[in-house]
Amino acid sequence: MQTKRWNVQTNKMAISEAAALLEDGQTVAFPTETVYGLGADATNNTAVSKIFEAKGRPEDNPLIAHVATKEQLNSLVSSLSPIAEKLIDAFTPGPVTFVLPSNGTCAENVTAGLSTIGVRIPDHPVANKLLKECGIPIAAPSANVSGKPSPTTADHVWEDLNGKIAGLVDGGPTGVGVESTVIDCTQELPIILRPGGITKEQLEQVVGKVMLDPALANASEKPKAPGMKYRHYAPEVPMWLVAGSPDRMQEVINRERAQQNRVGVMASTATARKLEADQIIPLGFELKEIAANLYDALREFKDGNIDLILCETFPETNIGEAIMNRLKKASSAHL
């Protein structure tokens, strides 16, 4: 398959041509404010199956339906609780996905056979224009080969999926850098199934107590939301998380280099400046900056250049919760 690539800055036909492919049952990657998504018509079982095929993703992992408006969201669900209404009004458009009772409009391979559906309204001008042009809900997981770090630039998508999908809309780098928060609004108390761009603290300011799902790390559960099953975000070489001071990190670096291992490091800029290793990628000073740079950094380390990645751990507060959720899924050990 030949993949068509449009640059929205230079091609005025990009959105309409991409929308036509989606309406025709094809797969198209596009930017959102979190990561690039790989889209297909969420009401078309055959179209959605092309997403799983391109990504190599198991079909028991549900997808998120992306829509342009609250009216479209309402058309996919059987009911909205008062709490769901409050959260939708407060945080859409934005990096949050709501798990709601499905009315069966979307294809069964979008919901993975569950009675619920994850829906979100993205806050990205390209995504929003594309969804309005289509007028149909678009199922879209991250536009990468399953298991690899999620894509935050069009080049990341091209590297993984060129020749496997019909089109790629290049809208520049994404902003948040980690996927949307997934919140289950079908229970009495809202439950975060996946931490992301909207934090627990932000949600609680609107509706009071919000729970964090204790089954987040339990791969034996049938997932109600993306990112709850299988190893994700893995770089090309093993990655260890290292807790403690920069001195502790340097000790581990020195030990591994003494064993002839080439060591790469991911750390906050403040920590990175205190270390010596074979390759060091500073992620930034603040947690928001670290989140935005995380997946790009994971893709920077290549097999053949580095034998092992060591990554600093971060406070699990605010967006740090989402950062550590992704790093734990990407790592093979925690020191």
**Predicted confidence (pLDDT) per residue in 87-135, tens digit:** 999 999 999 999 999 999 999 999 999 999 999 999 999 999 999 999 9
d(CA 304, CA 302): 6
> ∠ CA 13-144-224 to the nearest 5 degrees?
110
116 labeled part of a ligand binding site = yes
Cα 201 off chain centre by: 20
pLDDT digits (tens, 9 = 90+) for 247-301: 999 999 999 999 999 999 999 999 999 999 999 999 999 999 999 999 999 999 9
**Cα–Cα distance measured from residue 311 to residue 282, given in angstroms and rounded to the nearest whole number:** 10
Q: pLDDT averaged over the chain?
A: 93
Residue 233 annotated as lining a ligand binding site: yes
299 appears as a binding residue in the annotation: no
Residue 131's nearest CA partner among 78, 196, 72, 182 is: 72
Q: In this structure, are residues 241 and 313 in contact, taking their beta carbons and an 8 Å threshold?
A: yes
pLDDT at residue 223 greater than cutoff 90: no
**What does the pLDDT look like over 170-210, one tens digit per residue?**
999 998 989 999 999 999 999 999 999 999 999 999 999 99
What's domain 4-212's architecture? Alpha-Beta Complex (3.90)
34 to each of 58, 112, 127, 216, 295, how far by Cα in Å? Answer: 22, 23, 11, 20, 11
Over 90: is that where the pLDDT of 22 sits? yes
| pLDDT 10s digits, 29-84 | 999 999 999 999 999 999 999 999 999 988 888 999 999 999 999 999 999 999 99
Q: Is 150 annotated as a binding residue?
A: yes
Q: Where are the domains of the chain?
A: 4-212, 239-334
Q: Which residues contact 25 (CB under 8 A, 6 or more apart)?
A: 40, 41, 44, 46, 47, 50
Is 61 marked as binding a ligand? yes
Matching CATH number, 239-334, of 3.40.50.11030, 2.40.110.10, 2.170.130.10, 1.10.4030.10: 3.40.50.11030
Q: Nearest Cα to 308, choosing from 278, 282, 281?
A: 278
Tell me 241's DSSP state: E
Give me the percent of the chain exceeding a pLDDT of 90: 85
Q: Would the annotation count 295 as a binding residue?
A: no
Please tell me whether 79 is known to bind a ligand: no
Q: Is 271 one of the annotated binding-site residues? A: no
Q: How far apart are alpha carbons 264 and 292 in whole angstroms?
A: 19
Q: What strand order describes the sheet that includes 279-282?
A: 279-282, 263-267, 308-312, 239-242, 333-334
Q: Is 57 annotated as a binding residue?
A: yes
329 bridge partner residues? none
Question: Is 34 annotated as belonging to a binding site?
Answer: yes
Cβ-count burial of 106 within 10 angstroms (0-12 exposed, 13-18 middle, 19+ buried)? buried
Q: Is the N-terminal amide bond of 93 cis, ω within 30° of 0? A: yes
Residue entry with tokens 């997932």: 223
Q: How far apart are CA 312 and CA 263, in angstroms?
A: 13
pLDDT value of residue 220: 47
With tokens 């069009």, the residue in question is: 154
Angle at which helices 14-23 and 125-134 pack, to 10 degrees? 50
* Secondary structure of residue 329 in the 3-state scheme: helix
